[in-house]
């Protein structure tokens, strides 16, 4: 990226409001470099998912890679907004953010991704939200929450519920047109002054905190070892994932690779046994939490060759890890090792 583009991006990012905006229809067909320049990026975008198939390369970028970092003291986000409300956003007639989300956004998940085939933008992805079913007669709120977590799960990038994600590579672009940005959508970089909230001074005596601490005391001995394990996985997992490149064969073949890296999980697609997904444990930051909630990078393998990779954020944001915990009835649960009874995955 040129110095001129870098300085221009830094200059526009200093002001709150709609910093930059581009209709999705105009981004389609541009090179990634052109799209990033139009959105004011100050660095070369890095893909979160890369799929190599039939001599072609499909890269999926978080939309945030196409804009400059948020400068202090602003908080910024990248959003898809309807074209008709863009003027209202620019004139501050409606709030940029409401409850952490823009009041003008579509009913879709928070994550926005830009897909590029061989360096040319082909789609902007923003999966729709699943509408929550109303409570059933006589159903407690706890049972409803559990049912909502488990039922009617939609593994966006799997060919069908129960199947491993991305078994057909980039086929989801044609198969799941509903994942693409709505017609007329505009990709907008929104910024507003960060709100600094002063936290109250804790009371001199915190009985609730004391009781909570005492209740966890019998398990406290586990924390040191658990945090050491998290840190080891964080460092070793990131280093291992960085060596795995789509299109390359696994060193020594799949079985030899797994023998050399026993912490890597392997899942085989029962309907396509030549295809597997490997999970690399990315660990987590040290905490006081005894639950194992480590990040995970995913690697798609066909035979002994890597066909795609997904970093931890994209694997979670586009539902790849969630898909591992969905059965053929579209119900989340302990479908595979690493899945909780409510369908949460941790390596």
* DSSP code string of 163-214: SPTTTTGGGHHHHTGGGBPPTTEEEEEEEEEPPPPPPPPPPS--HHHHHHHH
What distance in Å separates the CA atoms of residue 192 and residue 137, rounded to the nearest whole number? 43
pLDDT value for 141:
81
pLDDT value for 211:
53
Of 253, 237, 257, 233, the closest CA to residue 311 belongs to 237
Give me the residue spans of the domains in the chain.
Answer: 3-145+175-193
What is the token pair recorded at 140?
């407690």
**Residues 159/275, Cβ–Cβ less than 8 Å:** no
pLDDT value for 30:
97
Residue 345's SS3 state is strand
pLDDT value for 9:
45
pLDDT value for 215:
56
pTM here is: 0.84
pLDDT value for 314:
93
Give per-residue pLDDT as tens, 307-346: 999 999 999 999 999 999 999 999 999 999 999 988 999 9
What distance in Å separates the CA atoms of residue 252 and residue 234, rounded to the nearest whole number? 24
Strands (E), the chain: 17-23, 49-53, 56-62, 74-82, 113-117, 120-125, 185-193, 265-269, 272-283, 295-302, 305-310
pLDDT < 50: residue spans in the chain: 3-13, 99-101, 210
Strands 49-53 and 305-310: antiparallel
Residue 156 DSSP code: T
Half-sphere exposure of 23 (CA within 13 A, CB side): 7
Q: Report the helix count and the strand count for the chain, using DSSP H and E.
A: 11, 11
CA torsion, ordered 237, 239, 242, 248, to nearest 10 deg: -90
In our burial notation (b when 16+ CB lie closer than 10 A, e otherwise), range 212-245 reads eeeeeeeeeeeeeebbeebeebbebbbebbeebe
pLDDT value for 336:
96
First to last CA, the chain: 37
Residue 299's SS3 state is strand
pLDDT value for 92:
67
């Amino acid at each position: 990226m040129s110095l001129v583009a870098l300085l221009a991006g830094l200059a526009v990012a200093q002001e709150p409001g709609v910093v930059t905006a581009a209709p999705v229809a105009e981004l389609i067909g541009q090179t990634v470099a052109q799209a990033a320049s139009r959105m004011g990026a100050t660095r070369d975008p890095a893909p979160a998912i890369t799929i190599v198939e039939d001599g072609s390369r499909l890269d999926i970028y978080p939309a945030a890679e196409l804009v400059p970092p948020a400068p202090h003291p602003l908080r910024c986000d990248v959003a898809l907004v309807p074209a008709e409300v863009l003027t209202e956003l620019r004139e501050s007639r409606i709030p940029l953010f409401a409850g952490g989300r823009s009041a003008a956004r579509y009913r879709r998940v928070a994550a926005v991704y830009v897909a590029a085939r061989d360096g040319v933008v082909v789609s902007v992805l923003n999966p729709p939200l699943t509408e929550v079913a109303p409570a059933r007669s006589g159903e407690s709120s706890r049972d409803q929450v559990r049912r909502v977590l488990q039922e009617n799960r939609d593994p966006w990038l799997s060919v069908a519920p129960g199947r491993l994600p991305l078994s057909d590579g980039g086929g989801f672009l044609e198969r799941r047109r509903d994942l693409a940005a709505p017609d007329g959508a505009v990709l907008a970089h929104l910024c507003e002054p960060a709100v600094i909230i002063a936290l109250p001074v804790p009371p001199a005596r915190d009985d609730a905190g004391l009781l909570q601490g005492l209740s966890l005391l019998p398990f406290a001995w586990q924390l040191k070892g658990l945090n050491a394990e998290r840190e080891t996985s964080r460092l070793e997992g990131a280093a291992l994932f960085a060596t795995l490149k789509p299109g390359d064969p696994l060193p020594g073949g799949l079985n030899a690779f797994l023998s050399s890296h026993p912490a890597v999980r392997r899942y085989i697609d029962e309907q396509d046994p030549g295809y597997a997904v490997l999970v690399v444990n990315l660990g987590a930051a040290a905490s006081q939490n005894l639950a194992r909630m480590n990040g995970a990078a995913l690697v798609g393998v066909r035979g002994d060759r890597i066909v795609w990779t997904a970093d931890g954020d994209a694997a979670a944001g586009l539902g790849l890890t969630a898909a591992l915990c969905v059965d053929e009835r579209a119900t989340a649960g302990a479908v595979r090792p690493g899945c909780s009874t409510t369908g949460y995955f941790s390596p």
